[in-house]
């Protein structure tokens, strides 16, 4: 306890001796999505289907994370998402991660197989969906419209 207080005191004295307050330490500026990251969008509502990257967290929940592999299911889901976002009216943004290279995100969200979707709700809850069908995607992205519209 004594060492912690002493260490913290030394740190604050050193920081103040440098002429910088804690609040004036520069922060990394927030950037928009990387150029070329957007696959489809933004829609009229401001939602996108994009590769996951810098700036993806600035889109408010709900958000969908699509872990795409190199399989037929991933290609079908990708084609469906492109079609949905091309028509507009969606209520969430979807971000595509490559299953093979997104190891950290896979561990964080518990994704074990490609072609998985993770829904991050407005409350921050995470709901995984394995192999979502076209109907699943319509229900998630158009929750107030009938499937045949």
Dist CA 33 CA 142 (whole Å): 24
pLDDT in tens, the chain (149 residues): 444 443 434 433 343 444 433 333 222 233 444 534 778 877 777 888 888 887 777 788 888 999 999 999 999 999 999 999 988 888 888 999 999 999 998 999 999 999 999 998 888 888 999 999 999 898 888 876 554 44
Supply the CATH classification number for the domain 28-141.
3.40.30.10
pTM of the model: 0.70
117 touches 67 (CB < 8 A): yes
Residue 130 forms beta bridges with which residues? 116
Q: Is the peptide bond before 62 cis (omega within 30 degrees of 0)?
A: yes
The SS3 assignment for 59 reads coil
């Amino acid at each position: 306890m004594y060492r912690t207080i002493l260490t913290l005191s030394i740190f604050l004295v050193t920081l103040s001796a440098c002429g910088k307050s804690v609040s004036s330490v520069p922060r990394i500026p927030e950037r928009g999505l990387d150029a070329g990251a957007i696959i489809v969008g933004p829609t009229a509502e401001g939602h996108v289907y994009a590769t996951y990257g810098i700036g993806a967290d600035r889109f408010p929940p709900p958000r969908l994370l699509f872990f795409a592999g190199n399989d037929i299911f991933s290609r079908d889901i990708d084609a469906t998402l492109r079609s949905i976002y091309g028509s507009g009216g969606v209520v969430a943004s979807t971000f595509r991660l490559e299953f093979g290279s997104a190891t950290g995100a896979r561990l964080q969200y518990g994704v074990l197989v490609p072609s998985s979707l993770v829904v991050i709700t407005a409350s921050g809850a995470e709901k995984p969906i394995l192999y979502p069908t076209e109907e699943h995607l319509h229900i998630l992205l158009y929750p107030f419209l009938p499937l045949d519209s």
